[in-house]
């Protein structure tokens, strides 16, 4: 769905489809059939993997989109040249996929509008991530940050790193120097007042992301999952605003 056309959050009955792809790296608990791609709904039996740029599985979501991002207080809430900077989240999912696998999804989207006196070309978006995926937090307390192995440093950690997918094009969000992603299922683009893609000079930016992972788990096994993000608007490389959100946070028991 093109947010630029309607300038409103996605329909609550649909997952926010465009998604960054992550995947399990080789190592402990990683099966030979590791795969990233579409969504955890498409992961075959006996495969561990995470995240995909594409479908979110068309699974029902009861809660409507909500604005769920706090502005960094060290910056002005509405700095000059930034007309709007808004994040929308949907309720995360944690469910069993088949007899062996469970998975989660944590979708969100955002948009930003730039105005004078700045040149829109001087403003760009960047995205950062931190968090953990922990199996059996009250027992073995096993870190499974390896499930997000396509992040730039190869795994999820508690330290913020620039979000990205090293197997995808474009590999990171918001770079004007890179190509736009115009596929309605993979939104990452700057557009002009007519709604046409204009990476170099567009004054409207939009993106969507659906972090997800699929992994083997016994019924009753507990997982502690938290993903924190911040998005940053930069003017000639210097941040003028940041917003923080947490699309998934909690302890989840495998059904």
pTM of the model: 0.78
Is the separation of the CB atoms in 225 and 235 below 8 Å?
Answer: no
Residue 38 pLDDT? 41
Mean pLDDT (whole number) for 51-61: 44
Does residue 55 carry a pLDDT above 50? no
Residue 73 pLDDT? 63
Residue 31 pLDDT? 31
Is the separation of the CB atoms in 240 and 99 below 8 Å?
Answer: no
Neighbours of 108 (CB within 10 A): 27
Residue given tokens 């990452």 in the structure block = 188
What does the pLDDT look like over 118-155, one tens digit per residue?
999 999 999 999 999 999 999 999 999 999 998 999 99
Residue 66 pLDDT? 53
Residue 94 pLDDT? 97
What does the pLDDT look like over 88-115, one tens digit per residue?
999 999 999 999 999 999 999 999 999 9
Nearest Cα to Cα of residue 165 among 14, 37, 11, 72: 37
Residue 15 makes CB contacts below 8 A (sequence gap 6+) with 55, 56, 57, 58, 59, 61, 90, 105, 107, 210
Residue given tokens 């062996």 in the structure block = 100
């Amino acid at each position: 769905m093109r947010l630029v056309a309607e300038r409103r959050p996605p329909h609550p009955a649909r997952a926010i489809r465009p998604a960054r792809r992550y995947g399990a790296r080789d190592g402990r608990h990683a099966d030979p059939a590791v795969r990233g791609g579409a969504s955890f709904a498409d992961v075959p039996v006996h495969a561990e993997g995470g995240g995909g740029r594409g479908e979110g599985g068309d699974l029902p979501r009861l809660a409507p989109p909500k604005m769920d991002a706090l502005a960094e207080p060290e910056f002005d809430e509405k700095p000059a040249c930034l007309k709007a900077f808004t994040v929308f989240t949907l309720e995360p999912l944690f469910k069993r996929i088949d007899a062996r696998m469970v998975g989660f999804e944590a979708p969100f989207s955002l948009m930003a509008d730039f105005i004078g006196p700045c040149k829109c070309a001087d403003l760009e978006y960047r995205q950062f991530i931190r968090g953990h995926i922990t199996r059996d937090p009250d027992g073995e307390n096993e870190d499974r940050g390896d499930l997000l192995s396509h992040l730039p440093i190869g795994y999820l950690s508690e330290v913020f790193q620039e979000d990205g997918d090293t197997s995808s094009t474009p590999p990171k969000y918001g770079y004007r120097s890179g190509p736009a992603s115009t596929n309605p299922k993979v939104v990452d683009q700057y557009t002009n007042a007519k709604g046409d893609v204009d990476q170099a000079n567009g004054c409207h930016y939009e993106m969507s992301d659906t972090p997800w992972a699929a992994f083997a788990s016994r019924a009753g096994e507990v997982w502690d999952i938290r993903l924190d993000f911040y998005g940053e608007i930069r003017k000639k490389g210097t941040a003028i605003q940041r917003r923080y959100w947490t699309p998934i946070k909690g302890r989840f028991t495998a059904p």
